[in-house]
Structure 1
């Protein structure tokens, strides 16, 4: 859990990763940890020979030079880096810090939900499950269309089935047209 003070001080972090799943599969990618924890990307390599090659060429040498025995002394590492392991409580914060932390958390939740809804609406339009007008509203505040879209979204998405065309494009067929050619 993040302390409230940490949320006030840190806007974003970035971590890159290379994760060896087993001797047949690995993941190479990155995660941008913004406050809403969105924007994960990467590639999964599910090929034993390629995974062995990547492990031997990159992972093993990096691990050998990055791992040190004293890194396992967690308390010494944390103390040496002056990392406070106990999160600040609401009693440790001033009223202003507490208010700012609460505002930042609320803004983050709202922003994340808006981005998720926008991405979902764009995906529905691309998949042919909604029109541009349905996704964007009808010129008013859009609340009636947005409410209807939220209620219908689960039905539209559950009715969709996917198939790959010979050219590799993702196609969407509604359940009503599954028997038709």
Structure 2
């Protein structure tokens, strides 16, 4: 695993937990399957969060969508932290990052929350693009090419944002 890159894995899951975007940013391809399994195992925390938000509440407090570090239980060998973000449309964002870059983990929360918001904005823009063709199972060749083009653009924008935060978090180990 590459020590210089704090962001190791990013997952965007749809409202029915279907994978929308899964990307391994570590140099280890052996770790990819394990990261996917661990990311999907984090879904229980999202279910708990949505159940809590459905309970009638006398106060009109806004429920925070940023879940923070999901649990130490999901830290692999004490090195990786799993962070969660839940949208109001029930899309789930899961970030896996090295925990030894910023001591204690709490000081990086504001950076991670900002990261999730930027990734969400990119993903929303992608889905709201009127020229993006949604796959209904019977796309012709032009539609498939169009869809692939937009998916490549989405991946490029997400990768650019991840690269920025890789540099930013690497350079701020004392934040």
- Fold-level match, TM-score > 0.5? no
Q: Which structure is higher in helix share?
A: 1
Alignment TM-score, normalising by the size of structure 2 = 0.26
* Higher RCO (CA-CA < 8 Å; seq separation 6+): 2
TM-score of the pair, normalised by structure 1: 0.25
**Higher radius of gyration, 1 or 2:** 1
